[in-house]
Amino acid sequence: MSGRYSAFTFCDRITSYVPARRASARFAIPAGLPAFASCLVAEATGQLAAWVSMAHIGFRGRPVAALAGETRYTHDVAPGDLLELDVDIEHCDDETVAYSGRATVAGRTVLELADCVGPMLPQDEYDSPDDLAREFDRLRGDGEMPGRFPGVPPHVIDTTEQVTGKIRRATLQVPTAAPFFTDHFPRRPVFPATLLLDAALSVARKFVHDDPALPVEARWRPQRVTNVKMRDFILPGQTVELTAEPLSPTAVGPRASVVARVGERTVATARAEFTAEA
């Protein structure tokens, strides 16, 4: 299948592995990409936890994003960086996986995940258990060729309402077809939760930048995202409404709630904290 394990798989080689407990891996961000979103670093870390949990139950099931208690974005990454990924599995069985993780570049922490939980769903509805088992063995051996990730298409986001300091609404058009569906997932395409979060944070960031009560010269970036809850899958071709509203600020910067809806149905919620870029 064209693009398999390259279109949306962020692991070149698993460098250490303790079954059902922990693992480390590397992923080289291709130097030719225009950018590499921090949300994709979170995706890479979560995928490593998924490999460990799937292997533990013989690839009968696969975890999907549901709850992330806290994600800390400490530094941006750039094309050409080498991500070092580490995950600690707190619990794993046929029902759920609970884990924490971190990503570093040249010894500097760029992202931390805490209190993440994903339910296990039947693997054969989404992917081939045998194919995944073979890929896991490959990643634990010589690994995959670095630099194969082609990037993801830019989000199609249109602002529909902006009331300065009070609310910002926009629509995200999910593509009907895209390379990342090859990996996410071959038998049942689903829009990745991390791409949804990336789009939602872009809406929240614009909402914060437009607030006249904040310093005009500051450029705000997400520092911490909490209480992420994925309530339902988002399918190819769907239109998602993204809403950002203010929350009480922290000592370092503004906060916003973000909500994603498809029609009348809430599909995801989160809270984002921002800090001024240095």
Count H helices, E strands: the chain?
3, 13
Q: Which residues contact 217 (CB under 8 A, 6 or more apart)?
A: none
Confirm if 262 and 201 have CB atoms less than 8 A apart. no
Pick the CATH number of 157-276 from 1.20.1280.290, 1.25.40.10, 3.30.420.40, 3.10.129.10: 3.10.129.10
The domain locations on the chain are: 13-140, 157-276
Residue 1: what pLDDT? Answer: 45
Instruction: Supply the pTM of this predicted model.
Output: 0.96
Residue showing tokens 């064209």: 2
| pLDDT tens-digit series, residues 70-99 | 999 999 999 999 999 999 999 999 999 999
| pLDDT tens-digit series, residues 122-161 | 999 999 999 999 999 999 999 999 999 999 999 999 999 9
C-alpha–C-alpha distance, residues 222 and 70, integer Å: 12
Fold exhibited by the domain 13-140: Thiol Ester Dehydrase; Chain A (3.10.129)
Residue at 162: amino acid letter: Q
pLDDT over 80 (residue 228):
yes
3-state secondary structure of 249: coil
Copy the structure tokens of residue 267: 């599909």
C-alpha–C-alpha distance, residues 108 and 102, integer Å: 10
Range in 50-54, 174-178, 206-210, 274-278 with the lowest mean pLDDT: 274-278
